């Protein structure tokens, strides 16, 4: 992968969570999904949130993305409270959210297009990112013409082209077969080595957490909290 023309680096991305609690649902159906969670993540660190289903991992990731507001406590990125979604906090889900009517290049170039980047420049950047994730021969393919692993590569490229401070990943390889999942894990580590974006990766797979991360934050359920 030739990325020598440009290094994509995100020098920021410090996370601080202080006594964060999150409730989901309304009225009598409301429940505490996350309770009194505190942690810090350094810029450029790769951290896995590990725990069983229902322990609040994805809820906490949604709060970091700005999609869910905490009931109490403080959640900050680079010293600023998280208040709503922002391109600097990119998220990749288990199933892709690509536009089916756009090819891989145009899906990846969508963010720069919204920022007013010229057509030639954004296409050049998209092609470079797609080369980084091993899809330089598939830029004109539509999502329906790509395998599950390729779709996730495009999804990751679409987030990374915005040079986010945080890359938030919610079990992004869980729906893939074992061999494709291993290849995607290896690819993610290669991409992280180029970008050094802070990554928060949700998984319930111990082997995956050990393989990928610098550090593992273990969570337990009912309500979701950090296992001391």
Name the one residue in this structure whose structure tokens are 């590990």. 50
Residue (of 23, 15, 2) closest to 128 by Cα position:
2
Which tens digits make up the pLDDT trace of 43-76? 999 999 999 988 999 999 999 999 999 999 999 9
Q: What distance in Å separates the CA atoms of residue 200 and residue 95, rounded to the nearest whole number?
A: 17
Q: What distance in Å separates the CA atoms of residue 60 and residue 33, rounded to the nearest whole number?
A: 9
Query: Quick one: average pLDDT of 169-176?
Result: 93
Query: Quick one: average pLDDT of 109-130?
Result: 94
Give the start-end residues of each E strand in 70-117: 72-77, 80-81, 89-92
Q: Where are the domains of the chain?
A: 15-97+159-226
Biggest CA-to-CA distance, the chain: 56
Which tens digits make up the pLDDT trace of 134-157? 999 999 999 999 999 999 999 999
Q: pTM for the complete prediction?
A: 0.90
Q: What distance in Å separates the CA atoms of residue 20 and residue 172, rounded to the nearest whole number?
A: 24
Q: What distance in Å separates the CA atoms of residue 169 and residue 57, rounded to the nearest whole number?
A: 11
At 11, the pLDDT band (50, 70, 90 cuts) reads: low
Which tens digits make up the pLDDT trace of 16-25? 999 999 999 8
Query: Quick one: average pLDDT of 167-192?
Result: 93
DSSP 23: E
Find residue 72's DSSP bridge partners. 21
For residues 33 and 20, the answer to whether their CB atoms sit within 8 Å is: no
DSSP 194: H
Q: Does position 87 have pLDDT exceeding 90, yes or no?
A: no
Superfamily of domain 15-97+159-226: P-loop containing nucleotide triphosphate hydrolases (3.40.50.300)
Start-to-end CA span in the chain (Å): 41
The dihedrals phi and psi of 179, each to the nearest 5 degrees, come to -70, -45
């Amino acid at each position: 992968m030739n990325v020598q023309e440009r290094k994509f680096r995100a020098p920021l991305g410090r996370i601080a969570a202080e006594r964060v609690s999150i409730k989901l649902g309304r009225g009598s159906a409301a429940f505490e999904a996350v309770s009194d969670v505190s942690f810090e993540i350094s810029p450029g660190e790769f951290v896995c949130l590990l725990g069983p289903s229902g322990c609040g991992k994805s809820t906490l990731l949604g709060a970091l993305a700005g999609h869910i507001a905490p009931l109490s406590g403080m959640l900050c990125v680079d010293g600023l409270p998280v208040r709503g979604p922002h391109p600097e906090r990119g998220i990749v889900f288990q199933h892709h959210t690509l536009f089916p009517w756009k090819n891989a290049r145009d899906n990846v170039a969508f963010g720069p297009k919204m920022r007013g980047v010229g057509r030639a420049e954004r296409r050049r950047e998209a092609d470079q990112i797609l080369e980084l994730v091993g899809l330089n021969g598939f830029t004109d393919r539509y999502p329906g013409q790509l395998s599950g692993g390729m779709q996730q590569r495009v999804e990751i490229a679409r987030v990374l082209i915005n040079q986010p401070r945080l890359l938030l990943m919610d079990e992004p390889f869980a729906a893939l077969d074992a061999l494709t999942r291993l290849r995607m894990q290896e690819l993610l580590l290669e991409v992280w080595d180029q970008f050094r974006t802070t990554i928060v990766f949700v998984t319930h797979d111990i082997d995956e957490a050990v393989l990928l991360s610098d550090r593992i934050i273990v969570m337990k359920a009912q309500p979701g909290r950090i296992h001391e």
